[in-house]
Chains A and B, each alone.
Chain A
Amino acid sequence: MLSMHRRIAIGLTAAGVATSLLAGCSSSGSTSSAGASAQATASGPVKLTYWSWAPNMDQVVALWNKSHPNIQVTVEKQASGDDLLTKVITAAKAGGAPDLVQAEYQALPTLVSNNVLADISKQDGSASSKFAAGIWKQVTLGSNAVYAIPQDSGPLMFFYRKDLFAKYGLTVPTTWDQFAADAAKLQKEDSTKKLTTFSSNDAGLFAGLAQQAGASWWTSSGDTWKVAINDAATQKVAGFWGNLVKNGSIDNQPMYTPAWNKALNDGTQLAWVSAVWAPGVLSGSAPATKGKWAMAALPQWTAGANVTGSWGGSSTAVTNNSKHQDAAAQFALWLNTDPTAVAALVKDASDYPAASDAQSGGALATAPDFFSNQPDFYTTAAKIAATTAPAAWGPNVNVAYSAFKDAFGKAAQNKSDFGAALNTMDQTTLADMQKQGFKVAG
């Protein structure tokens, strides 16, 4: 993915050359926007396009189309990730962005600073009561505007192999100290097994763990930003995982690879620090282990505390390109708060809903199939979700994340100092913000 960003960057710098090469192909036309929205007429129904990556989103939207004949929404399924962010920003610059986009919370400041998203506080501002304050803050960026409606959330939890924990006599850790003790004990019992791995590919998880420890990577006052990726809380988290990697008590290979799937499947790895959506991933990556897992709250830094971070989660946003922002805002609100819609999101799109009411009962009354041995899965999950620490995102999270991949990738491979990697990440992010022209304090 990194290489693609580089290519895109090269592409932008080469724009001048290309313009001259292709001058013959361009026709002098009026600025137009792709997508159905532009073609809507006063007489026919309003047509909206919606870029989303969630599986079966078209089925959820079909419910809306059935009950709202005057506003017809078409889902155009996209691949999730930073590449989509680039695509949306490029399309918006050319006036061709769809009416609605699914956007991860950490992408919102980037989209807002690129002027992609419309402020829908007039239409949907009253929806704030339906969401936890920490989640709502992510879509307002701490301002009076509303840039998106929260869709799903990913509170962090601890997933472990119940059978193997019993076999090796490990206790389910309630603190990170116990977690480290478990990792060391497992090494003594069976050196071929690892408690878990530190994945330098998944900056989102690291961000969530830092969030739990109380980190606040980006803060802003007025138009001045402050970057504090190497604050004391994050240093504590980086040092903790760095030590585990260094003394070999956990693995240092990335997640979401065939090798990782195999390790989960055959029990080489016994636990996974992940989010509420983990059952879906496990059922795809480690189908052989169905019914052998259990979920518990994330280990804490101080015994008796009750805080978690989040990993992933996304929102539904309306773009500035949209010619029908009122209709789009109405749809976004319906999709994420209407009981029928949210039930369909949970059932068909495997979302863990962001709306507080939807986190218990309804479609979440029974545990996910993969965790049928833990019937109160979602009751426990809702309790944990309520303890989520607020997240603070900045306008260049993608840069910070790719700096994380580079710096921590090397550090994990060489089992070297994670603190130095964290400083690199901080400096790279800070330098990029200054280069982009943001006012940065300190």
Chain B
Amino acid sequence: MTQDATGVSAPASVSALPARLRRIGWAPTVGLLAGAVYCLIPVVWVLIAATKSTAQLFSTFTLFPGSGLLSNLHDLSAYRNGEFWTWMLNSAFYAGVGALLSAAVSGISGYALAKYRFAGRNAIFNTLLAGVLMPPVVLAIPQYLLMAKAGLADSYWSVLLPSILSPYGIYLARIYAAGSIPDSLLEASRIDGASEWRTFRSVALPMMAPGLVTVFLFQFVAIWNNFLLPFIMLGDDSKFPVTVGLFTLLKQGAQAPSAYTLVVTGSLISVLPLIVLFLSLQRYWRLDLLSGAVKS
């Protein structure tokens, strides 16, 4: 989706340039187009494959749409009395609540790290940087063992709690707060008698909003697509997110065929909320460009 965002804004900025600079650079254009095709082909494949019935899926031409979309949707909804929609709701819950809390925690922590000087600030920040470099999959099993000790394994909390603390989100919020909130504005607020909390809420937070939207989106996508953490944490299939749920459809043991059509259709549906989310939150990203121009 990020490619789409830049793809949309690129022509606008090109047309603003003087005519002599508007010559098309063929090499980069062809390179970018090739990149776009490379990224979009799998999406197109999923889109077309979801319209094919079981009989058509592997026997008809790959890019030729089939006639099974409605029956696929029906079968998917009928699978174990609508288990798929339970998974979708679970994913929405994990990703929505997790990303919201994560954005809140990142906002407060990033602001504090950027605007206050206190003992151990650099130590905390460096630890966070180390956390950014560590892939979250590495933590899944230790986190499971901890959750099991706390009696929280196989609960909604076991997936939600580890998603809230995102070192990358805090890092991003810190950078964003440092760059977009002038110290003079905070001083003015304090001189006017606002408490620290009020200063953060009414002055700093609105200025950080575009950054926090970014953190929210990043976390939402990360949690939505997360596989290993919920796979390890959850045993009860009615708590599965859609990623783990579809995996059980794909691997039903040797004696049962993989439910390819259901998995493909399910994958398509599971991508839709992400697309909607990006399109609807895109305008906050444009705001990002303007808010960078505050003079201090």
Residues on A facing B (Cβ under 8 Å): 4, 7-8, 10-12, 14-15, 17-19, 21-22, 25-27, 29-32, 34-35, 49, 51, 53-55, 58, 76-81, 83, 87, 90-91, 93-96, 98, 152, 154, 204, 256, 258, 261-262, 265-266, 275, 277, 280-281, 283-288, 311-312, 314, 349-352
Residues on B facing A (Cβ under 8 Å): 54-55, 57-59, 80, 127, 131, 134, 137-146, 148-151, 153-155, 161, 228, 231-232, 235-237, 244, 247-248, 250-260
* Residue pair B153, A287 in contact (C-beta under 8 Å): no
* Residue pair B153, A258 in contact (C-beta under 8 Å): no
Tell me how far the C-beta of B110 lies from the nearest C-beta in chain A, rounded to whole angstroms: 18
* Residue pair A154, B145 in contact (C-beta under 8 Å): no
* Residue pair A15, B141 in contact (C-beta under 8 Å): yes
* Residue pair A90, B144 in contact (C-beta under 8 Å): yes
- Bound CA–CA A258/B250 (angstroms): 13
Q: Name the residue on B nearest A276 (C-beta).
A: B255
* Residue pair A312, B253 in contact (C-beta under 8 Å): yes
Given A11-B138, A18-B139, A287-B55, A31 and B145 contact (CB-CB distance below 8 Å): no
Q: Name the residue on A nearest B227 (C-beta).
A: A4
- Residues in A with CB closer than 8 Å to B59 are 262, 265-266, 287-288
Q: Which of A32, A81, A288 contacts B251 (CB 8 A)?
A: A81
- Residues in B with CB closer than 8 Å to A288 are 55, 59
- Residues in A with CB closer than 8 Å to B237 are 76-78
Given A22-B143, A34-B148, A34-B235, A79 and B134 contact (CB-CB distance below 8 Å): no
Tell me how far the C-beta of B141 lies from the nearest C-beta in chain A, rounded to whole angstroms: 4
Top-5 shortest CB links A-B = A284-B257, A94-B148, A277-B255, A18-B142, A34-B154
- Residues in B with CB closer than 8 Å to A19 are 142, 146
* Residue pair A15, B250 in contact (C-beta under 8 Å): no
Q: Name the residue on B nearest A81 (C-beta).
A: B251
* Residue pair A54, B253 in contact (C-beta under 8 Å): yes
**SS class of chain B's interface: helix, strand, loop or mixed?**
helix
Given A30-B151, A266-B59, A281-B257, A76 and B146 contact (CB-CB distance below 8 Å): no
Q: Name the residue on A nearest B53 (C-beta).
A: A287
- Bound CA–CA A62/B1 (angstroms): 45
- Bound CA–CA A27/B148 (angstroms): 11
- Residues in A with CB closer than 8 Å to B253 are 53-55, 80, 312, 314
- Bound CA–CA A292/B47 (angstroms): 31
- Residues in A with CB closer than 8 Å to B155 are 34
- Bound CA–CA A154/B58 (angstroms): 26
9 pairs across A/B with beta carbons < 8 Å? A10-B138, A11-B138, A12-B141, A15-B141, A34-B151, A152-B255, A256-B258, A284-B54, A312-B255
- Bound CA–CA A85/B65 (angstroms): 38
* Residue pair A258, B58 in contact (C-beta under 8 Å): yes
* Residue pair A27, B150 in contact (C-beta under 8 Å): yes
- Residues in B with CB closer than 8 Å to A54 are 252-253, 255-256
Tell me how far the C-beta of A78 lies from the nearest C-beta in chain B, rounded to whole angstroms: 6
- List 17 additional A-B contacts (Cβ < 8 Å) besides A266-B59, A284-B256: A11-B138, A11-B142, A14-B139, A15-B142, A31-B149, A34-B151, A49-B235, A53-B251, A79-B250, A79-B252, A90-B141, A90-B145, A98-B235, A204-B254, A256-B258, A281-B256, A285-B257
Tell me how far the C-beta of A181 lies from the nearest C-beta in chain B, rounded to whole angstroms: 29
- Residues in B with CB closer than 8 Å to A283 are 257
Q: Name the residue on B nearest A97 (C-beta).
A: B235
Q: Name the residue on A nearest B158 (C-beta).
A: A34
Given A19-B146, A31-B149, A79 and B58 contact (CB-CB distance below 8 Å): no
* Residue pair B58, A7 in contact (C-beta under 8 Å): no
Q: Which of B134, B145, B228, B255 contacts A280 (CB 8 A)?
A: B255
- Bound CA–CA A272/B258 (angstroms): 18
Tell me how far the C-beta of B272 lies from the nearest C-beta in chain A, rounded to whole angstroms: 23
* Residue pair A58, B80 in contact (C-beta under 8 Å): yes
Q: Which of B131, B244, B255 contacts A351 (CB 8 A)?
A: B255
Tell me how far the C-beta of B134 lies from the nearest C-beta in chain A, rounded to whole angstroms: 7
Tell me how far the C-beta of B148 lies from the nearest C-beta in chain A, rounded to whole angstroms: 3
* Residue pair A94, B145 in contact (C-beta under 8 Å): yes
- Residues in A with CB closer than 8 Å to B142 are 11-12, 14-15, 18-19, 22
Counting chain B CB atoms within 10 Å of each CB, the highest count among A10, A21, A51, A256 belongs to A21
* Residue pair B149, A7 in contact (C-beta under 8 Å): no
Tell me how far the C-beta of A358 lies from the nearest C-beta in chain B, rounded to whole angstroms: 14
Given A53-B252, A262-B58, A11 and B150 contact (CB-CB distance below 8 Å): no
